[in-house]
Amino acid sequence: MNGGKLVDANQKIEGFEPKSALKRIEDDQELYLELIEMYLEDAPVLIGDLGVAIKEQNFEMASLRSHSLKSTSRTVGAEALGELAAQTEQAIRSCDWKTAEALLPEIKLWFERIRNILSEIAEAP
């Protein structure tokens, strides 16, 4: 992975900040690639579980999944997705299931955008 690739990715989507993610891990690019791989595996499961938990109004599961999605998204630089997960987490804590459910399509849309960019970064030479 080269710095230029990250700059290109950073310009493609507002709300995606790989440079801030790298800064958090002291510019360890190998670690960043590992985090991306784990995120690409785990995030779809978190999002799916979150949707089920919200539908079932399962407070504990929904709280845990939204918190995990928030943290892991921010770890890879997906700041906008992390913010959506934070809003969802807050809605769940307030037992505002309608708002939490309304945020799910936007979370899914942002994840698809982020997944494409992260896949490009992970596959870069």
Q: How many CB atoms are located within 10 Å of the residue 78 CB?
A: 30
What is the mean pLDDT, run by run of 10 residues, along the chain of 125 residues?
Answer: 48 82 92 96 98 98 98 96 98 98 98 93 82
- pTM for this model (two decimals): 0.88
Distance CA 85, CA 79 (A): 10
Size (the chain), residues: 125
SS3 category, 16:
strand
Sketch out the chain's domains with CATH numbers: 3-123 (1.20.120.160)
SS3 category, 25:
coil
Beta carbons of 6 and 61 less than 8 angstroms apart = no
**pLDDT at position 3:** 46
